[in-house]
Structure 1
């Protein structure tokens, strides 16, 4: 992994922050995030990570960032499309504002497409990788989650479409996390025990899979979606 340059969007918070920390152990990581304060905190915790403020819905900002990466580092080996509106809930359908719908799709789905589009020339040069972060909500839902669920379902489909279009030079895969604990909130025993593996997930559960998927050992894997949820989506649950 030495000398590899990796871009992680949404890299200053939550799962993205965990991915940035994990990958920085062996490569140069650029964490891009709209949250500048969180970015400064990330760098203070881990000076190995570079932070760039970025609005992933702004195509010109994406273009400028990629040009900067090319100028400063001369290469890009992987892109982790993690930036997203994390709250899965929206207003009831009869009250759902089209602005909120469009914003969810812009951040969660259109941005990864734009990032793939503009990083493609650099990724082709390195036979690089794209890893998209979706959600187990692409295949199961709660009430009032239409925008988030649709965007994450789109990410899974975008992944195999990109894999077909960009291969063999660039591999594209996807991870669908379940419940991943990213805060200081103390969890209950029932939170852990409802998972078949006996615990809620942590950021390294996702970051380690990202590390594998961008490694040469995963060179025969593309177009795939990996569900990492402690087995929750395999449970059959009915009210008693």
Structure 2
């Protein structure tokens, strides 16, 4: 896929990885980028302003991806506004911090919330935008996590949701082929506000240092690194149903 001239929708596009992906696509000549958000309106508008400075049409659209009706309304609005969708990046995510041994802490509400955003959200978005993506012979990239591959992460519910998203990626690759390619990225620790704000800068620095020491590349991912991976998958015309891990090689060790 040639990114130049495309129309892209990025869920959770106002901050972190989503914002970095949006800027990467704008720099590669995307005609328009829709920045979806649910709560971070100011951040989404700030991202839109940066995209406009890069010469890209940009718009912030509010929608809770866990709400199928809201996603369908967003898809209709994008369709009316831009007439096509070439790229869908399902980046919106959430978690609840529950230690693995605390099984009682994994309440039904925690499971419903985390699975609703992290799994059902990408499914609802893929379903709502499928007609447009098929017509454009477009591509989807889902943002999963290393927690979907290894037994790690903020909670068991989070890891299960990201593992399920990896399987959804494979299933959608079959369901939407041959017109639409569907892939996923699985980042490790990424230096984003989403992560740092939850544990604090000091704790994050210590945690990142420990992981760097075990990773062959001795680096902590920045949002721009994950954006590179997303863009690479979008541009890889013969790749579908794959998961690209981005953790500096940390997962290679025991």
Same fold (TM over 0.5): yes
Gapped regions of structure 2 (runs ≥ 5): none
Whether contact under 8 Å (1:177, 1:206) holds in the other structure is yes
Task: Name the structure with the higher helix share.
Answer: 2
Change (3 A) 1:14 1:69: same
* Counterpart Cα distance in 2 of 1:58 and 1:73: 22
Alignment deviations for residues 175-195 of structure 1 (CA, whole Å, 9 cap, x no partner): 100111124847458354332
The one of 127, 136, 141 aligned to 2:151: 141
TM-score (norm 2): 0.86
Segments of 4+ in structure 1 off by > 4 A?
A: none
Which residue of structure 2 lines up, in the alignment, with residue 32 of structure 1?
A: 36
Whether contact under 8 Å (1:90, 1:96) holds in the other structure is no
* Counterpart Cα distance in 2 of 1:90 and 1:101: 14
Change (3 A) 1:142 1:125: closer
Whether contact under 8 Å (2:25, 2:231) holds in the other structure is yes
Change (3 A) 1:139 1:80: same
Coordinate RMSD, CA, aligned: 2.0
Once the two structures are superposed, the pairs formed by residues 1-240 of structure 1 within 5 Å of their partners are 1-25=3-27, 26-27=29-30, 28-34=32-38, 35-47=40-52, 48=56, 49-87=58-96, 89=98, 92-142=102-152, 145-183=155-193, 185=201, 187=205, 190-191=209-210, 192-215=212-235, 218-236=236-254
Whether contact under 8 Å (1:7, 1:30) holds in the other structure is yes
Whether contact under 8 Å (1:173, 1:222) holds in the other structure is yes
Gapped regions of structure 1 (runs ≥ 5): none
Question: How much does 1:41 deviate?
Answer: 2.5
